[in-house]
Chain A
Amino acid sequence: MIPEIGHLALIIALVASLIQCVLPMWGAHTNQIQLMQVARPTAYTQLFFVIIAFVALMTSFINKDFSVINVVQNSNADLPTIYRICATWGSHEGSILLWGLMLALWSSAVARFSKHLTLPILARTLGVLGFISFGTILFTLITSNPFLRMIPAASNGTDLNPLLQDPGMIIHPPMLYMGYVGTSVVFSLAIAALLSGKLDTAWARWSRPWITVAWCFLTIGIALGSGWAYYELGWGGWWFWDPVENASFMPWLLGTALIHSLAVTEKRGGFKMWTALLAILTFSMSLLGTFLVRSGVITSVHAFATDPERGIFILIFLAILIGGSLTLFSIRAPKAVAGEEFDLVSKDSMLLTNNILLLVAAAAVLLGTLYPLILEALGLGKLSVGKPYFDAVFVPLMTPALFLMGVGPITRWRSAKPIDLVTQLRWALGATVVSAVFTPFVLRSWTPGIGFGLFLAIWITTASLVNLFNRIKSHPANAISALRAQSASYYGMLIAHIGVAVFIFGVTMVNGFEEEKDLRMSAGTSNSLAGYDFVLNNIQQVQGENYVAAQATITVTKDNQFVTVMKPEKRKYFSSQMLMTEAAIHTSFTGDLYISMAEAISNTEWGVKIQFKPFINWIWGGAFLIALGGFFAVMDKKYRFKKNKSL
């Protein structure tokens, strides 16, 4: 009964989304207020029914309803309850339903927090969102229905992939999708503005908090994915430039560009066309990414079960939505970029340079991801593009942008004198060069890469602090008043930029100083790494809820002081017979100890990999700081829009 309720709810939601799309859009076009006012209640209605569908699927998993095909394929009688709940979004069908849920949530958020928007703009925005919802729910019902039953019901399921049976599964997909799907709001706002002919600074100001919040969630989602891969996959990597990772990274890069570009449009009035295009492209990248990982066009770690029918559907949807929006853009985009002028050296030009660099970086990632496909389609052979390419291209592209992060905030709008900048930043530059050059010597190892990375991290930090210091100094009252006088938006920028510096520091230290050893260990053997001493006490068999594992107990000491006991495991899951490496990780301020069991050499001897990852947690700490900065920025008073007075 419950799956059928879910199925029915989804159909009703489909109808609601169609109404949400057609009536308000028509109302805006013909200026009929009543039709436009249909938008908000319809959005809430759609959300209501999508939630029912989602809960219905989740209930089927919790109840172990093995008559539902999706439940059979993605869970098992022995699967712990929490993972049965997560299995709701553990498959292609379930995750598309999650996509639809997020979309409905964002639409309702727009309906709720839009008192300042004019009715036509609101109607059109919700209309576009309704269209996207319609396509998503239609796709779910036709090609990816999670409520299909099997008769007779199976006696047990084939289990959720063991890699997904992990706390990361609870939070990574929801956060990621919140961000990913959230870029649809600013997309819809841009379309609405283009349709209404009202692409102005008000539009820019409205858009900014929406993209910032989506971008924060996207940042957190990507960071969680990376952290999860690190401890779950069992061998210590944290970013692989896998197509699915790239699929979420490209919208992030464009979203970052959009946030910076909106700053220019908001303050200086110009580049509305460029900003609108970015708004369209950011969500387009999200959609493109969704296509890439579900169509079978690209192979990836994450690839869902692929199906040409699904690929065709998404591609058609993509073509209509993005093709339509880009066509609208080419027709309606404002003719002149009528904004205030600026000089070659100015905050304006630096922000635009940032945009160009981010856009080219996103294009490079897209190129690398699609190149095998392009080459094969052209009959030019088959090759693969891996991490070395992306590292080689991405890092040089990003470096100027990272350097500018120190200069931009200090630079004046419209026109700045290079001499002034140099004067203000000379101490920061000096301190940076000195510390970047000398620190590695202190740490006993130096490569250009390490020096370079440290330079950027320290530069961004010192330049940001100089910026803050200048603001305090130029404030008429004392330091405390000066600090209070700064806006939330300013602190958001500061925190986010320092977050980037922290991130770079983490990456540099891990890449430059990580150590590892592959050892044969049996009870009583010992070794050492990075100043720590390890003794394998024993290896025993342990049993979990749905697996059995070989578990090693390793005592760690440093300078003869007890540090910790680590217990890496090699698990074998009953249902799938899959082998999983559960690494043991010990986190300290200076870095992670990472121990994983490789292979059994005999009953008593195992290959064990011991790694030391210095400052690796600064990578995700930095990412969270970036997201925190975004949240601060959204809190700024200037985004507390008052009810719109004019029509």
Chain B
Amino acid sequence: MKRLPLIIFAILVVFLVIGLKLKPKEIPSPFIGKPAPAFELSILSQTERFEPKSMLGRVWLLNVWASWCTSCREEHPLLIEFSKQKLVPIIGLNYKDKDPEAIKWLNDLGNPYDFSVVDAKGKVGIDYGVYGVPETFVIDKSGKIVHKHIGPLTPEALNKDILPLLKKLNS
């Protein structure tokens, strides 16, 4: 009975230790393992429109970005390098942006995307559970979302999470 407070405290400390490794601000996607929501958006600088179902049969990346997003600049060089390897199609979701500014941003900093689609009002973003920029989705051949990376892509995330996943999905 007198040891009860100590035991409860010990359990609490264990949880707090685990807690130090967690990231409370990140909200995991409920879509993991579920089909990527359908949409139809116009492509930046072009007249055609795009639907995700046209990507069925291929593994691809959907990267949410915007010219007003400062964190996107952090991941941009990495994305450019990654796109040169041509491992997988990278499609950008230009989120709540203005076309002229988006185009200028890509001209200034480089364009890693096969193309970008314009989500001016952010409605598709909401459909995908986007709550911040940048975010990156990995979508498999059957159109299911298998991974979501929140925040700028880092070399660790790329090497540890995404590349192995791509290998597995493509085999």
Contacts and interface: CB of A to CB of B under 8 A. Distances in A.
Interface string A29-48: 00000000000000000000
Interface in B1-47: 2-3, 5-6, 9-10, 12-13, 15-20, 22, 24-25, 27-28
Given A330-B2, A382-B27, A373 B19 contact: yes
Interface residues of B, number: 19
Contacts of A83: none
Interface stretch (A50-58, A320-328, A545-553): A320-328
B25 A299 contact: yes
Contact of B2 (A284, A329, A372): A329
Interface residues of A, number: 31
A323 B6 CA distance: 7
Contact of A377 (B10, B15, B25): B15
Given A372-B24, A377-B22, A382-B27, A297 B16 contact: yes
B6 A297 contact: no
A315 B5 contact: no
B9 A295 contact: no
B154 to A, nearest CB: 16
A135 interface: no
A295 B20 contact: yes
Contact of A374 (B10, B15, B20): B15
A137 interface: no
A298 B24 contact: yes
Contacts of B27: 382
A306 to B, nearest CB: 10
A299 B6 contact: no
Contact of B9 (A291, A299, A322, A333): A322
A496 interface: no
A435 to B, nearest CB: 43
Contacts of B24: 296-299, 372-373, 376
Interface in A320-378: 322-323, 326-327, 329-330, 333, 370, 372-374, 376-377
Contacts of B10: 323
A333 B6 CA distance: 13
Nearest to A333: B2
Nearest to A381: B28
B38 to A, nearest CB: 26
A273 B10 CA distance: 20
A108 to B, nearest CB: 30
A373 B22 contact: yes
A311 interface: yes
B20 A329 contact: no
Given A273-B2, A330-B6, A315 B15 contact: no
Contacts of A295: 16, 19-20
A326 B13 contact: no
A315 B2 contact: no
A374 B9 CA distance: 14
Contacts of B12: 370
A295 B9 CA distance: 18
Contacts of A327: 6
A523 interface: no
A373 B22 CA distance: 8
A312 B2 contact: no
Contacts of B22: 297, 373, 376-377
Contacts of B28: 382
A291 B3 contact: no
Interface string A445-488: 00000000000000000000000000000000000000000000
Contacts of A284: 9
Contacts of A273: 2
Nearest to A366: B12
A322 B5 CA distance: 10
Given A322-B9, A374-B15, A311 B20 contact: yes
Contacts of B19: 295, 297-298, 373, 377
Nearest to B25: A299
Contacts of B5: 277, 280-281, 326, 329-330
A464 B69 CA distance: 60
A374 B17 CA distance: 11
A530 interface: no
Interface in A278-321: 280-281, 284, 291, 295-299, 308, 311-312, 315, 318-319
Nearest to B8: A326
A188 B2 CA distance: 19
Nearest to A382: B28
A319 B10 CA distance: 8
Name the residue in B15, B19, B27 with the highest tally of chain A Cβ atoms < 10 Å from its Cβ.
Answer: B19
A318 B22 CA distance: 19
A428 to B, nearest CB: 38
A123 to B, nearest CB: 26
A329 B7 CA distance: 12
Given A299-B24, A382-B28, A315 B9 contact: no
Contacts of A376: 22, 24
Contact of B20 (A296, A322, A370, A372): A296
A280 B4 CA distance: 14
A330 B9 CA distance: 13
Nearest to A322: B9
A213 B87 CA distance: 67
A295 B18 CA distance: 12
B25 A329 contact: no
Nearest to B28: A382
Contacts of A280: 5
Contacts of B16: 291, 295, 297, 315, 373
Nearest to B11: A374
Contacts of A298: 19, 24
Contacts of B15: 370, 373-374, 377
A171 B46 CA distance: 59
Nearest to A374: B15
Nearest to A319: B13
A86 B27 CA distance: 35
A326 B6 contact: yes
A295 B20 CA distance: 7
Given A299-B25, A373-B15, A382-B28, A308 B2 contact: no
Nearest to A284: B9
B2 A323 contact: no
Contacts of B9: 284, 322-323, 326
13 contacts: A295-B19, A296-B20, A297-B19, A297-B20, A297-B24, A315-B20, A323-B6, A372-B24, A373-B18, A376-B22, A376-B24, A377-B19, A382-B27
Sorted nearest first, the 3 A-B pairs with minimum C-beta distance are A326-B6, A377-B18, A297-B19
Interface of B: 2-3, 5-6, 9-10, 12-13, 15-20, 22, 24-25, 27-28
Given A296-B24, A373-B22, 5 more contacts: A273-B2, A284-B9, A323-B6, A329-B5, A330-B2
